[in-house]
Amino acid sequence: MVDVLALVEARLRTALGEPDARAAVTFLGTDRVEVLRFQDGSQDGTVVRYATLGMSAQPMSDPTAMLADPVAGPRAELVLSVRGGLADTDKVLRPLAVLAASPQVEGVVVAPGASLDVGEPLWPGAPFASVLVAEPGGLVEDLELDAPLDPVRFLPLLPMTPNEAAWKRVHGAQALQERWLTNGTDLRDPSRRSVPLD
């Protein structure tokens, strides 16, 4: 059997460089989930990227299925990008691991357009307790695996304020993303305010 996680880590390193920190979290009855941190220094300040490693070891299965298929089914890892040095964002490691374990724990299929809620601030003082799952393919390309395995998709996470999460439930993910775009919202700002929603 192919070592999916070794291939995933190699793809992350190719796309994001060498991780400068990693942490592992294990939840009862689930596989271990690691979170890797990558620093991307550029002209407009450092961007810190957190990527999960472990979620894609098992395919996500339809919660209504009687038996989970051990081979077929979507696979994914999560990627969160924030501006460095503005908040204690390293505390996001555990919430990210919780989200990455949710397909195994709760039997959910994480897909673009979904909202994921951790029930507490993503990091101390964060105005966000939930994230919007965005479309993959921008920052880290999908990782093709040999058939019959589905490719691993690297899903960007966009932090949402409680007001934005409530608005998204009514109007949908596309409408919220358009609102962010129209207002020039810096989605990497770890302390940004809610976008105007009236």
pLDDT digit string, tens, across residues 83-110: 998 889 999 999 999 999 999 888 889 9
pLDDT of residue 197: 86
Q: Whole-model pTM?
A: 0.93
Mean pLDDT of 149-161: 96
Residue 66 has pLDDT above 70, yes or no: no
Distance CA 66, CA 151 (A): 23
- Reported confidence tier of residue 147, pLDDT bands at 50, 70, 90: confident
Mean pLDDT of 20-38: 88
Q: How much is the pLDDT for 155? A: 97
Please list, in sequence order, all residues whose beta carbon lies within 8 angstroms of the beta carbon of residue 4, skipping any fewer than 6 positions away.
56, 57, 75, 145, 149, 152
Band (68; pLDDT cuts 50, 70, 90): low
The average confidence (pLDDT) of the chain is 91
> In this model, does residue 18 exceed pLDDT 70?
yes
pLDDT of residue 44: 60
CB count in 10 Å sphere of residue 69: 12
Spatial CA neighbour of 132 closest among 56, 183, 80, 170: 80
Q: Give residues with Cβ within 8 angstroms of 92, minimum separation 6.
A: 50, 80, 82, 122, 123, 126
